[in-house]
Structure 1
Amino acid sequence: MTDSTPTPPPLPDRPAAEAAAASAPEAVDDTGVPRLVGEVDDIGRGFLAALFDISFTTFITRRLASAFYLVGLIAVGIGFIAAFFGGIIGGIRALWWNLGGGISLIVSTVIVVPILAFIAVVVLRFVIESVVALIAIAENTERTAQNTRES
């Protein structure tokens, strides 16, 4: 029989903090982990400070995109429910006066309203993604301009 106890991995020749400090001393905290800078660092600035930044150096659109999408989804959902039930109730009401018109209204409501709601969600997502992509392009262009000026 052989001994099956695992051997521990070898230890590094120097501590992580020392190794990280040797590569970039200004961007490392006391744990040896590089400090995040840029957009992630700007999150701590606060939403209200960015909202009232009259020089428009900080964009809030990317932070609000998910909230706008959620509000849009809720609006599409409310519109779907109102149109769906309104069409069904209108179709049932129309059955009393015109049987064929009532049936066609019910059938068209069941088919058309979900398709329109789906298209509305796709368009909402497309518009929000387009705005976020435009803001990302602006941020990357600004970052490129700053790096070009420094060189």
Structure 2
Amino acid sequence: MSQQEFRALIQNVTSQLAGRSIDASLDTWLNAEHGAQSDTYRHLTQACRRGVEEGWLADREHGGIRYGRIFKADDDLHGFSVDVVDMNDIAGPHHVHPNGEIDLIMPIDDDARFDGRHAGWCVYPPGSAHRPTVSQGRALVLYLLPQGAIEFTRN
């Protein structure tokens, strides 16, 4: 899996997100159309696992969290940036989503949860904030950020 092939997988998803409201209805739609039992989920999970294993995804580390922005927001990604994190029973830094955040949760350990949710999609609306937390094991999380907007807060 090359970075270009990975980008093409992401483009397939972001093309379907373009122009949609980042809200609870998008969360429901993503899990119905591209949820944990779908080919989209399976392909993205395989690609992310391989990218982490090969070292071109989540290629930085700080405070026990591996992370990395693989793609900046761009027109061919419909204005979304793409980050992948690798977390194991840890809480990340608190931040605000000015334009919302769309997350794909990919447990490595069967019981792993991201913010209490299992495998699938999680959508945070514009203006929301959280301390991203993986519990009960290890998970990869793919973040799609409209215009790449994220604001880290001081605790």
- The TM-score bracket by the shorter chain reads under 0.3
TM-score, L = length of structure 1: 0.20
For normalisation by structure 2, the TM-score amounts to 0.20
Point out the structure with the larger helix share: 1
Larger radius of gyration: 1
Higher relative contact order structure (alpha carbons within 8 Å, sequence separation ≥ 6): 2
Q: Which has the higher strand share?
A: 2
